Amino acid sequence: MKALIKYAPGDGNVEIRDIEEPRCGENQVKIEVAFCGVCVADLHVLLETFRNYPPVILGHEFSGRVVETGNQVTGVATGDAVTVLGATAVTCGQCSYCRSGRFMFCRNRRGMGHGVNGAFTQYVVVRPDQVYRIPEGFALDEAALSEPFAAAVQAVTEITQVRIGDTALISGPGPIGLLCLKLLVAEGVKTIVAGAAGDGARLECARSIGAACVVNIGERSLADAVREETGGMGVDVALECAGHPDSVRGCLEALRPMGRYTQIAICGREIQFPIDNIFYKQLTLSGSICYTARTWERMMKIFAQGRVRLGDIISAKLPLSDWRTAFDLCVEKKALKVLLYPEA
């Protein structure tokens, strides 16, 4: 089968190679990949700015159909449409984080697509506990967005605990920002979405998803928009989804006293920001990274209830051989999510 492989350490060193199809073990599930989304993490593996263990197949945001199950496997059957929690591919299972379900902090963790083989290929084998059956009526392409959507579910519902009646600010209209917006709109939360010059198309998407107000900070001051939308009060919650110093500052300034701030994006460098805002307004600052298995269970219920659909976050579906084009679209911010599908 063809696979997109990081074959050696260093910048680049990624290409499509022909490799042997994986065999399904006794307590494993073999899945034929339908779609696998390109994520910033894949770009970082390509550029060697994210830890990886070559040779390794890239890709961790995927959906597919079960084609084989080991004889010890129950609860999953051949033909099932599924998505996979790839981040738990390898964990120690014994540290306090593993024991409390917070596997992402396990020192020995290795996720699919960088730590162990991922899904930019035709077949993967995983443990049954990583597999989630996609609810009836939810499409395989939408389900390929499960991994980033789970990050949004944790950030909005578990970490920030946004409530109906709140006014929210999402700063950064990239895929994660728009997935957070989907949830807030479904919950009936009034949401302002801010973006920078170059985010025009993404802000239009935010508007069509149901943002109460979109602000291009290249054209209009965020502070003015927030004042107008909140009657001068400030927003109750701010989700930083851009990873940019201006966005961090904008969020801290937009919050009302006792407001809640959640960092969801990576800045990738040290930045300056007005820390006194935290003191004078007695703000609560949190970070939200990844999700837990419980988040995935909640996400499947959200999918089943049908009020959140993700199709409009998908900009393009390309064959695996066009991976360069797909990666470039993401680098140039010309697309939201680009999915790759394997060619038989």
Of 95 and 212, CB closest to Zn ion: 95
39/89 with CB nearer Zn ion: 39
Long-range contacts of 225-230 (CB under 8 A, 24+ apart): 225/192, 225/194, 226/169, 226/192, 226/254, 229/167, 229/190, 229/192, 230/167, 230/256
Q: Are strands 255-263 and 235-240 parallel, antiparallel or unpaired?
A: parallel
Q: How far is the CB of 263 from Zn ion (least distance, A)?
A: 17
Of the two residues 189 and 340, which places its CB atom closer to Zn ion in the complex?
340
Helices (H) and strands (E) in the chain, counts: 11, 16
Nearest to 175 by CA among 339, 340, 335: 335
Q: By the 8 A CB rule, do 124 and 64 touch?
A: yes
Nearer to Zn ion, 129 or 228 (CB): 129
Minimum Å distance from CB 20 to Zn ion?
A: 26
Beta bridge partners of 261: 238, 285
CB of 234 to Zn ion, least distance (A): 32
In this complex, which beta carbon is closest to Zn ion, that of residue 106 or of residue 252?
106
* Beta-bridge partner residues of 123: 32
Neighbours of 205 (CB within 10 A): 20
Binding site for Zn ion (CB under 5 A): 39, 41, 61, 91-92, 95, 98, 106
Shortest Å, Cβ 312 to Zn ion: 19
CB of 98 to Zn ion, least distance (A): 3
Rank residues 61 and 142 by Cβ distance to Zn ion and give the closer one.
61
Rounded to a whole number of angstroms, the minimum distance from the CB of residue 50 to Zn ion is: 11
Q: Cβ-count burial of 301 within 10 angstroms (0-12 exposed, 13-18 middle, 19+ buried)?
A: exposed
